[in-house]
A and B are shown apart, each in its own frame.
Chain A
Amino acid sequence: QFPNECQLDQLNAIEPSHVLKAEAGRIEVWDHHAPQLRCSGVSFVRYVIESKGLYLPSFLNTAKLSFVAKGRGLMGRVIPGCAETFQDSSVFQPGQQGQGQQGRGQQGQGQEQEQEQGQGQRQSFRDMHQKVEHIRSGDTIATPTGVAQWFYNDGNQPLVIVSVLDLANHQNQLDRNPRPFYLAGNNPQGQVWLQGRQQQPQNNIFNGFPPEVIAQALKINVQTAQQLQNQQDNRGNIVFVKGEFGVIRPPLRGQRPQEEEAVGN
């Protein structure tokens, strides 16, 4: 903190000062240089995600505490070292799996798929990932620094999440600025809340690596590696999901799992 930052002789109600528009919503950022926010050492953000909108994975340089002000949806986090405990091999309806079988009809792809199967039992799952939770209005969500997080609105009204970013928190090892790191998507407007930086579009973290290095690290081809850089993509960081969002999710509170109902007969 700079000296006298809390010498406030007047407070006022403040509105967001920056709005980042995206394909399926917007991110509204309060100016963290405003005297009262600077004194408290925090930044404040509001995420508005339209129905079927996916806020792409990102992580921050500090701890974040969020509150679901409106709507409902899904929230996923990737915590370093945690296992993919959500596993399922029947997430999609038979029609989708038929699609896979169609793939098998094309000899080369089929072989590849079988080869993948050959890479160990683990790959016979349809998918497995870290925990996904239902969120609803009133939920309060704690996100440690460096933990990637994504949201998806599976309701009919906008999902509104407000977050305080504790810039003075000891988990922030950088300066007193909110610095989101995007793992996917990009921010064509740039980090407009940062002073002194020539505003350039903000890209995702893959964008900074040569595609060849990404290809080697992920053992994929260079074309797919270039795709991960989202360079031809101007959707922003909240994108629409086309079709079904088949993420493995637990039953909603109060909803009995199907198997139990079957037993009930």
Chain B
Amino acid sequence: GLEETICSARSTDNLDDPSNADVYKPQLGYISTLNSYDLPILRFLRLSALRGSIRQNAMVLPQWNANANAILYVTDGEAQVQVVNDNGERVFDGQVSQGQLLAIPQGFAVVKRATSDQFRWVEFKTNANAQINTLAGRTSIMAGLPLEVISNGYQISPQEARKVKFNTLETTLTHASGPASYGRPR
């Protein structure tokens, strides 16, 4: 029985093939994920992977890993990255470049913006079906919350709450302009 199951199981998959992209914006780049649905053997490892390749000034909308830690390794280019912890403190605000590694714990919010022509990275996640939640965008936490909760939570007008909720139509990648780094938190 092992021949038909373990020995014949597929154990490799290529993440560098844009035609398999899960997120794709021609002007901005693509993101592909590899989880246990794509490669069943990952279920045993309880691990998954993500490959990103974005152009200059493309921003990966602020998000957090809901059920996994993420180990980010840069393969090409540079990006400005900010990470916020459970205390609301910015624990990383800097440039990551080729060959560098950054660990982003579960729940920590992260935003990435490419500052070189091409920024390419791979992320290893400690869950076979890693899930993210985003702070902005059409499928974000903001879109899922009632306007009442947003306007009362942040003490903003219903009109402002509407903008916060609906203005960003992208789901994962958007274009950013202006300076990429903003100095240390107040």
Flag if B155 contacts A227 (CB, 8 Å).
yes
Distance between A237 CB and nearest chain B CB, rounded to angstroms: 9
Question: Known: A61-B106, A61-B107, A212-B182. Contact between A203 and B144, CB under 8 A?
Answer: no
- Separation of A243 and B35 alpha carbons in the complex (Å): 46
Question: Once the chains are docked, how many angstroms separate the CA of A245 from the CA of B163?
Answer: 19
The size bracket of the interface on A is 35 or more
B100-122 residues with Cβ-Cβ distance < 8 A to A are 105-107, 109, 111
Are A245 and B133 in contact (CB-based, < 8 A)? no
Q: Which residues of B contact A145 (CB under 8 A)?
A: 66-67, 106
Are the C-beta atoms of B164 and A57 separated by less than 8 Å? Answer: no
User: A202 to B84, alpha carbons, bound, how many Å?
Assistant: 12
Known: A208-B88, A213-B182. A123 touches B166 (CB 8 A): yes
- Shortest CB-to-CB span from A49 to chain B, Å, is 13
Say whether, besides A173-B105, A220-B163, A56 and B131 are in contact (CB < 8 Å): no
CB of B56, distance to nearest CB on chain A (Å): 15
Whether the pair A224, B164 counts as a contact (CB closer than 8 A) is: yes
Known A-B contacts A205-B88, A220-B160; A184 and B146 likewise in contact (beta carbons under 8 Å): no
Q: Which one of B146, B150, B159 has the highest number of Cβ atoms from chain A below 10 Å of its Cβ?
A: B146
A230→B69 CA distance, assembly (Å): 27
B73: min CB distance to chain A, Å: 18
Contacts of B36 in A (CB 8 A): none
Nearest first, the 6 A-B pairs at minimum CB distance are: A146-B66, A208-B84, A203-B88, A78-B144, A184-B153, A210-B182
